[in-house]
Amino acid sequence: MNPPLPPIRDVINRHGLSASKALGQNFLLDEQLLDRIAAIPGDLAGHPVLEVGPGPGGLTRAILRAGGKVTAIEMDRRCLPALEELSTAFPGQLSVIEGDAMKIDHAQTMGAPYAVIANLPYNVGTALFVRWLSGEQWPPQWTSLTLMFQLEVAQRIVAQPGTGAYGRLAVLAQWRSDAKLAMKVHRSAFTPPPKVMSAIVHVTPKAQPEGVSARLLERVTEAAFGQRRKMLRQSLKGVPHALDALDIVGIDPQRRAETLSVDEFVVLARTLGTLG
């Protein structure tokens, strides 16, 4: 039986909290919506969950209600008393770390496999996402990512080749993970309402293609999409052996990055690894 909790709006008012523009905060108050978000990863009972930027704890309480064991990283100390109240209401289920999630080793902090669920602060959301997707160690320690982004960013993560939204984020999210847009969230659900719509992206890791260096793939996509209007022969000429690799795998150097499928980028990175 979950403890009775005051409405989040009351908690915000009682602690004199307001969303900080500088920290990219927007608070979610709709309890039913928050419960739906917490349900996206599946059964959380007893499962370790990392939450970044919990703010006053709206999503946190939904995850706790679902049985998750939450480690929350919050750098806004104004929110800590509200989170402390949640910790008291759910004994042994919530641990709060005051700090910058960009500077904390998440795997070391969590110890065991964990799910990530977060209404990410807009100003660090993409950087954190790329960090979770990067690195040679795979599968990662996280079992899934359930993340709130601006709708435009979410669409870039799940985009298909040949579309305007397709780019580096899509390749990084899809070459060894499954990424889907799980839910759109109207701007009116937030306090204060942001200028744009938001969406929840759900990502689960899958087997990594053999013989591919994540570092090389990241380098190739960064170069290719860094000058996306240019042909590959121009955008990749600064990457050693890249033009030779294009020739070997039979990719026309006059193509542009957004026309290459995720699989083609994988084959290119694999071939590049054999030439280095």
User: Is the pLDDT assigned to residue 22 strictly greater than 90?
Assistant: no
pLDDT at 18: 67
Nearest to 33 by CA among 177, 191, 144: 191
User: Is the pLDDT assigned to residue 11 strictly greater than 90?
Assistant: no
- pLDDT averaged over every residue in the chain: 92
The residues, ordered by sequence, that sit 6+ positions from 65 with a Cβ below 8 Å of its Cβ are 2, 35, 38
The residues, ordered by sequence, that sit 6+ positions from 228 with a Cβ below 8 Å of its Cβ are 167, 235, 256, 257, 258
> Tokens representing 188?
């009116």
Mean pLDDT of the 123-148 span: 94
Q: Render pLDDT for 53-81 as a digit per residue (tens, 0 to 9).
A: 998 999 999 999 999 999 999 998 988 99
pTM of the model: 0.93
Quote the DSSP letter at residue 229.
T
User: Is the pLDDT assigned to residue 26 strictly greater than 90?
Assistant: no
> Tokens representing 94?
């919530």
* Confidence category of residue 27, pLDDT binned at 50, 70, 90: confident
User: Is the pLDDT assigned to residue 23 strictly greater than 80?
Assistant: no
* Confidence category of residue 13, pLDDT binned at 50, 70, 90: confident
List, in sequence order, every beta strand (DSSP E) within the chain. 27-28, 48-52, 69-74, 94-98, 114-119, 142-150, 177-185, 190-191, 198-205
